[in-house]
Structure 1
């Protein structure tokens, strides 16, 4: 038998009732492979059978299975809160604390970080990436030099480090102008030193002014406290401690399509709810795989769908999904039992007993699987 052309193979695959991604994967795997009509029919038959077996059965308790599938490996996760993850001096929360952060939809993760990829024109140029890194990193006066006091004439002396000044592409005049904007005192430039003489300050006022001067921002993005550059394959990647996605993706040289953050709420605000859903799936899978655990992606996708179904990222807890269940008994079984029952009694709520938890509480079969089927016995005997 003659081999089929690529167009014929694609046409046959398009006729199948398969998800788009699965059909495209099948086309990609058969690219450049010589197959006859008989072989293609056998391949299609096996793929259809595998897809049919993988589908969820009617009345299957997908929520319970997803909870068990994620919860059981969770018992084997370590409590390591900090780990270097191959990047020097950048702390990342991993293990069980990270999973808890994700499902609790925390406003800010305990260790926010970003992975910034560059556009192709500068991705391989270390100097250009380093320059961009200095533009991103938050730089205060205390990073540029030593701030001290001279009690003999009640003045403040800022000893600027020449190397730091050069690295960050700033001049002494720019530093002096920025300080003047913040404190209304004109610093005098003496070689690599700035001298400030406040008007008749007390010793306490002088020390307070020193602390204020130390924290004056000179350059960079507020919130990005550290930048580390690392070479991966043929390009340089910037890792940051701190996350400000909205501002970072506006910088020239940053590739916004490949730049990411571990702050899911920030992704929802900047890129939308679909991006946040994908981030929940990716972050959860990455955390589990780092611990050497495997969970079917469909269970994690179900959790991500439930967390984002209303157009905002909601936690799996009494202030989110569990607290918004229609069933009174199900809400009461989760947390703050008395409050839920009291509020429901005042409002005159009715529990339809359709879920798993509430049926277990009242001691009747759950309406899932075989419990969802009612059999009716019909007599076949004829009346004389």
Structure 2
């Protein structure tokens, strides 16, 4: 005899009873997942039991030392990481930090990553067309005169810098000699007179010193002609779902998100500080979790996501990205003894005494130092015994 399926109303009513033991958000998510799914009474019962069991497995006891467990869970696998600094992506176009160097980079909240990069997703009409994807990549990559020049000569006698442009490079980038001249016009005040003859551009410098000519030569070579400032390289790669994605070396998230061809809902920068400035602190928190998980997964290490969430929360809870160190989380603890226990002990103690700070003994470190009960586990409970 075939099983009878429950109606959607019956399924909803049964799941609503779980609000007595589960958070409302979790119950609502379960309702959304089971929407328009046909279930028998027996199947629904199994689903409900499985969800409740998983929930109770995920909760922690009051007073559990989640910070210490998090530190152990992230610290222990990191000792097994391969100490490789660079890994070449795609066709060896550019490199990116992986493993322990990248993990340290994230935890230290480095202002400038070793290799700043972006992953740019395109809208459907561009993501499945290789030619259009390459056109977008060409528009994104910053093109300087150095990329377009066949040779750059300095005439010290006449104080002139002569740039011979590469026709093939101009044609590939869809640029002309006039575009290069317009870029040079932006520094005309410092450069002097600019003359164009065929594929050659002469720039007269208003100085005769050799050092000034060399400085102007370097400035001219780094002058941007097209593209987005900060994007040094752009590489188009095909993903497993037949979608073309652009990977870049260098970042400029704000400018990239303004492009009509770019899918702004998925495009990300791997520079956490840039994400915080452009998209906000919540986006930076999510980025920290994703980056930590990506590093650990790449090394084949399994760490509970909640521990990574804890690290991200601690780094971002006050509205800005802070490192886990004496210039960040550890150095900004309320407890003077906890700050002194981490680094620069004497300096922290002298400053605390000078400022008249008081020790509340609410954390783990300061209680261990003073030989008191640590406020975790059984030490978390405070009872007063009344004598008869």
The answer to whether the superposition gives a TM-score over 0.5 is: yes
1:164 pairs with one of 158, 165, 169? 169
Secondary structure of the corresponding residue to residue 170 of structure 2: helix
Preserved CA contact (<8 Å) 2:12 2:31 = no
Q: Residues 179-218 of structure 1: CA distance to partner in whole angstroms, max 9, x if unpaired?
A: 2331354433333222345568455554443333222221
Give the structure 1 partner of residue 7 of structure 2.
5
C-alpha deviation, 1:125, in angstroms: 2.0
C-alpha deviation, 1:364, in angstroms: 2.7
Paired residues in the alignment total 379
Secondary structure of the corresponding residue to residue 229 of structure 1: strand
Is 1:187 matched with 2:191? no
Preserved CA contact (<8 Å) 2:188 2:194 = no
Give the structure 2 partner of residue 304 of structure 1.
312
C-alpha deviation, 1:274, in angstroms: 0.6
Q: Does 286-295 or 174-183 show the bigger shift?
A: 174-183
> CA distance change for structure 1 residues 190 and 12 in 2, over 3 Å: closer, same or farther?
same
C-alpha deviation, 1:305, in angstroms: 1.0
Q: Does 305-314 or 10-19 show the bigger shift?
A: 10-19
Secondary structure of the corresponding residue to residue 118 of structure 1: coil
Preserved CA contact (<8 Å) 2:18 2:27 = no
Q: Residues 341-381 of structure 1: CA distance to partner in whole angstroms, max 9, x if unpaired?
A: 1112222222122221122212232121112235666789x
C-alpha deviation, 1:10, in angstroms: 3.2
Is 1:175 matched with 2:180? yes
Q: Does 53-62 or 126-135 show the bigger shift?
A: 126-135
1:83 pairs with one of 74, 84, 87? 87
Q: Does 358-367 or 308-317 show the bigger shift?
A: 358-367
Secondary structure of the corresponding residue to residue 295 of structure 1: coil
Secondary structure of the corresponding residue to residue 343 of structure 1: helix
Preserved CA contact (<8 Å) 1:69 1:299 = yes
Give the structure 1 partner of residue 231 of structure 2.
224
Is 1:134 matched with 2:138? yes
Aligned partners of 2:58 and 2:211: how far apart in 1? Answer: 72
Aligned partners of 1:377 and 1:319: how far apart in 2? Answer: 43
2:330 pairs with one of 322, 336, 340? 322
Aligned partners of 2:27 and 2:87: how far apart in 1? Answer: 36
> CA distance change for structure 1 residues 32 and 177 in 2, over 3 Å: closer, same or farther?
closer
Q: What are the ranges of 5 or more consecutive residues in structure 2 without an aligned counterpart?
A: none
Q: Residues 297-326 of structure 1: CA distance to partner in whole angstroms, max 9, x if unpaired?
A: 011111111111111111111122112222
Secondary structure of the corresponding residue to residue 48 of structure 2: helix
Aligned partners of 1:141 and 1:373: how far apart in 2? Answer: 69
Aligned partners of 1:215 and 1:374: how far apart in 2? Answer: 66
Preserved CA contact (<8 Å) 1:107 1:265 = yes
Give the structure 1 partner of residue 295 of structure 2.
287
Preserved CA contact (<8 Å) 1:134 1:168 = yes
Q: Does 228-237 or 280-289 show the bigger shift?
A: 228-237
Q: What are the ranges of 5 or more consecutive residues in structure 1 without an aligned counterpart?
A: none
Secondary structure of the corresponding residue to residue 201 of structure 2: strand
Preserved CA contact (<8 Å) 1:243 1:261 = yes
Is 1:370 matched with 2:374? no
> CA distance change for structure 1 residues 67 and 162 in 2, over 3 Å: closer, same or farther?
same
Preserved CA contact (<8 Å) 2:122 2:245 = yes
Aligned partners of 2:4 and 2:209: how far apart in 1? Answer: 97
Q: Residues 88-117 of structure 1: CA distance to partner in whole angstroms, max 9, x if unpaired?
A: 322111111111111111111111000111
TM-score (norm 2): 0.89
Q: Residues 1-59 of structure 1: CA distance to partner in whole angstroms, max 9, x if unpaired?
A: 732123422332244233435753575368645321x4423432342133123211111
Secondary structure of the corresponding residue to residue 98 of structure 1: helix
Aligned partners of 2:50 and 2:250: how far apart in 1? Answer: 48
Give the structure 1 partner of residue 120 of structure 2.
116
> CA distance change for structure 1 residues 361 and 312 in 2, over 3 Å: closer, same or farther?
same
1:268 pairs with one of 257, 272, 276? 276
> CA distance change for structure 1 residues 176 and 85 in 2, over 3 Å: closer, same or farther?
closer
C-alpha deviation, 1:293, in angstroms: 0.3
Is 1:337 matched with 2:348? no
Secondary structure of the corresponding residue to residue 268 of structure 1: helix
TM-score (norm 1): 0.90
Preserved CA contact (<8 Å) 1:134 1:167 = no
> CA distance change for structure 1 residues 42 and 160 in 2, over 3 Å: closer, same or farther?
closer
Preserved CA contact (<8 Å) 2:145 2:224 = yes
